[in-house]
Structure 1
Amino acid sequence: MEQWNKKMLIVMVFMMTTLGGVAGYKNYTVGGDLGWFDKLEKPTVDYQKWASSKTFSLGDFLIFNTDNNHTVVQTYNSTIYTLCDDSSALDNDTINYASPDPSAAAVHPVSAAVPLLKVGPTYFFSSFYDGEQCENGQKFSINVTQGQGLPPSLRPPTPESPGPVSQESGDDTVPDTIVPANFDHPKDLTDDDSDDESDDGKKKKSNGMVIQSSRILVLLGLLYTCL
């Protein structure tokens, strides 16, 4: 029994030290190996089923692998999504990340990386051929959660002001569909990216390490008494 207690304490210490961190941002390849196409080309695609098994948060990227005969439209307007028609879209509710190229002599691959910048319902579809691709299954909706919030590389630049401006607690508002021009390519980020951490983030991380260290010392003390 005493040997079992020792093993359990060792396992607890290991779990606290290895699993205590926060998972990094994620990149999701839409449709997996099937890519971003309609049922006329890929009869087995089911993008809503693909999305239903995943959790999406601010700062994650969706990677759309398709070709120049398909579009990638992101919208926050459920009516536009339902109609499969972005002709009446406003600048602040819809973005076209990939446009068709009917003049191309041959079909060529297209890849679009879409960052998730706003909490709440978000819709994706292909609007080409007057919405025919959308009506044939090239569409899905997701709900974006707060998660860790936007990483520094995706945060909009702060406008200069004559004096400091306080932010209300819990205010996580981000400008509608504004993608900063300074982000490079989607990449996985973790808490180890100390250069990108804000002061508040550093303080929280430091406090978390102190608390975690205290817990480890207590457990090690228990382990010592069992030896």
Structure 2
Amino acid sequence: MAMKILSIPVLVVVLASTVLQSTHATNYTVGDTTGWNARTNGNTDFYNNWAANKNFLVGDILVFNFATGSHTVTEVTEADYNNCNSNNPILVQNTGPASIVLNRTGAYHFICSVPGHCTAGQKLSVQVRNGPGSTAPTPGSSPNAPLTPGSGPGGSPSSASSLVAVVSLAIMSITLVLVC
């Protein structure tokens, strides 16, 4: 009997730590209160300065706040980023706010494709690395897809981590039933 009483709190602690550890992802609001816009007061490095002190990890989410119709979030190659060229986009989000899951390691380059906005400084480049609970990119994996929270596969900040949490919860629940 004492073994059953001791096992329950231990299982609860293990379960809680597993769930908390496996769902680690950070939402970053690009530009903080400034949002995603071309009004950077002539500071063409505004967004890169904003990103400079941040540690972006696989699974994190960039939230670009803007009014639909006034801006875009266009992911481009480094060369297109440097030239403010949106003719060969990797991803385009026209509806604000736009959420982008950083689903691979490496550099991401975003610009606004509204004429004049990128050259005015509405552009962001971030470097993403692996972190706790993240996985290495899969060769041939698809580029970023738009994120709508709760929209199914890929619709949560860290779908793989959420799956781990659900499986852990199921195993812990079965163990509790068997022990009790």
- Report the TM-score when normalising by structure 1: 0.53
Match of 1:6 in 2: none
Residue among 157, 161, 173 paired with 2:139: 173
1:134 alignment partner, SS class: coil
Alignment coverage as a number of residue pairs = 143
Percent identical: 25
Cα distance change of structure 1 residues 116 and 198 upon mapping to structure 2, 3 Å threshold = same
In 2 relative to 1, CA 128–71 (structure 1 residues): closer, same or farther, beyond 3 Å? same
Task: Report the aligned-residue RMSD.
Answer: 3.5
**94, 99, 120: which one aligns with 1:113:** 99
| Superposition map of 1:59-138 within 5 A | 59-67=59-67, 68-75=69-76, 77-87=77-87, 89=88, 94-98=90-94, 110-129=96-115, 132-138=116-122
Is this contact kept in 2: 1:64–1:112, CA < 8 A?
A: yes
5+ residue gaps, structure 2, are: 1-16, 173-180
Contact 1:47 1:139 in 2 (8 A): yes
Matched letter for residue 71 of structure 2: H
Cα distance change, pair 149–173 in 1 and its aligned pair in 2 (3 A) = farther
- Give 1:26-65 correspondences, 5 Å limit: 26-38=26-38, 41-43=39-41, 46-65=46-65
Calculate the TM-score normalised by the size of structure 2. 0.65
Q: CA deviation at 1:85?
A: 1.1
Matches within 5 A, 1:140-151: 140-147=124-131, 148-149=133-134
Q: Which amino acid aligns with 1:26?
A: T
> Does the CA contact (< 8 Å) of 2:35 and 2:64 recur in 1?
yes
SS in structure 1 opposite 2:65?
A: strand
- Rate the CA distance shift 1:183–1:79 in 2: closer, same or farther, 3 A: same
Q: Is the 8 A contact 1:57 1:144 kept in 2?
A: yes
After TM superposition, give the deviation of residue 176 of structure 1 in Å: 3.1
- Structure showing greater radius of gyration is 1
1:182 corresponds to which residue?
152
Q: How far apart, CA to CA, are the structure 2 residues paired with 1:55 and 1:171? A: 18
| TM-fit CA distance, 1:50 | 0.6
Q: Deviation above 4 Å: which 4+ runs of structure 1?
A: 20-23, 183-189
One-letter code aligned to 2:99: A
CA drift of 1:179 comes to: 2.8
Cα 1:85–1:171 change in 2 (3 A) is: closer
